Amino acid sequence: MTGPGRRIGGALLAALVAAAAGCSAAREPETGSGAPSREVRVEGARISLGAGGAARLGLEVAPVAAAQASVERSAFGRVLDPLPLVEPVLAQRAARDALEQARSEYARARGLHEHDRNASTRDVEVARLAFERAALDERLAAARVAAAWGPVAADRGDLEALAGRLAAGTAALGRLDLPVGEVPGSAPESVALSIVGRASAAVTARVLGPAPSADPVLQTRGLLVLVEVDPPAPGTSFAAGIATREAGAGAWLPASAVLWYDGEAVAFVEVGGDAFERRTIERVRSLDDGWLVGASVRSGERVVVRGGQQLLAAQVLPAAASD
């Protein structure tokens, strides 16, 4: 045999395919010169079927989709003291009321000054300074709310009502933290909390959003959760399971594309025309009806999802016969 690859005639390919599939195969007709009418070329892990070869073998290929695995991690948390959360919300409400009053006084002084000078220039200036100071106080109060609540403050229009419920003890706000280095996946709408010291069933908590800061001691990232039924007291500990994003996400490979050769999982990737390349794949995680694989197969590439055993037989059996 000469050249870097092996050339397999159509008759030999038919025999190999029949051996792999367990059925009979017809011999390909030959040309007048004695050369086969169709030809398969095997070069290492690459196999070229020639024009129309994939269709003759009934191969089916499909694109590989990007995937991100998720796994449930044990999270832990505690019920927060409501005062540091309630105080800035109520302070912002008071600052808004003061701002509206200062705006009204400033407008009144300007109107009196412009109408028969019933207010002095000094009165107008004092009212203007009071209005500007009230505006600054309101901005400071809003910044304190944002620092205490984080993104939740911008997403919830009923923050004042929630603060009132926390102050009255009819609801409890908790912080749920993931282990160090873990990042939440898409935030769930609710989680089931196991309250420490309670023998009853898990308590359902609504997820409000990400916590405004990392834990200063553990350096973990957390979520704010709201317990509205039978709320536990501040300081109570709890645990829950949270789905997290798995590092090393890659592509989803359907189970029908996975073959086994020499103790390793392999798949055939279309590399152009009727040519395919056998690649060893490494499973990152099992997903529904398939695998999450790393860099061995990339999103957008096309893999053989039906008929891969025939390609594997065409590659492996001739090599075994030559040995």
Task: Burial-class residue 201 by CB neighbours within 10 Å (0-12, 13-18, 19+).
Answer: exposed
- 167 shares a domain with 113: yes
- 43 shares a domain with 26: yes
Answer whether residue 1 is part of any domain.
Answer: no
Residue-wise pLDDT tens digits, 123-162? 999 999 999 999 999 999 999 999 999 888 876 668 899 9
Which domain does 152 fall in, by range? 74-245
Q: Which of 210, 245, 280 is the last residue of a domain?
A: 245
Q: What is the pTM of this model?
A: 0.54
Q: Which of 230, 245, 260 is the last residue of a domain?
A: 245
- 258 shares a domain with 157: no
- 260 shares a domain with 132: no
- 234 shares a domain with 111: yes
CATH code of the domain in which 50 resides: 2.40.420.20
Residue-wise pLDDT tens digits, 249-294? 678 888 899 999 888 889 999 998 789 999 998 876 776 678 888 7
Residue-wise pLDDT tens digits, 264-275? 889 999 998 789
Report the 10 Å Cβ neighbour count for 208: 20
- 27 shares a domain with 127: no
- 118 shares a domain with 223: yes
Answer whether residue 83 is part of any domain.
Answer: yes
Residue-wise pLDDT tens digits, 62-91? 988 887 666 677 889 999 999 999 999 999
Answer whether residue 186 is part of any domain.
Answer: yes
Q: Which of 195, 219, 245 is the last residue of a domain?
A: 245
- 229 shares a domain with 155: yes
- 185 shares a domain with 45: no
* Spatial CA neighbour of 190 closest among 245, 235, 242: 242
Contact 159, 149 (CB under 8 A): yes
Answer whether residue 203 is part of any domain.
Answer: yes
- 216 shares a domain with 180: yes
- 96 shares a domain with 228: yes
Distances (CA, A) of 211 to 9, 108, 187, 266: 66, 43, 12, 43
If one counts the domains in the chain, the total is 2
Report phi then psi at 318, rounded to 5: -65, -35
> Which residues make Cβ contacts (< 8 Å) with residue 151, sequence separation at least 6?
209, 210, 212
Q: Count H helices, E strands: the chain?
A: 7, 18
Is the pLDDT at 296 greater than 90, yes or no?
A: no
Which bin fits 248, alpha (ψ -120 to 50), beta or left (φ > 0)?
A: left
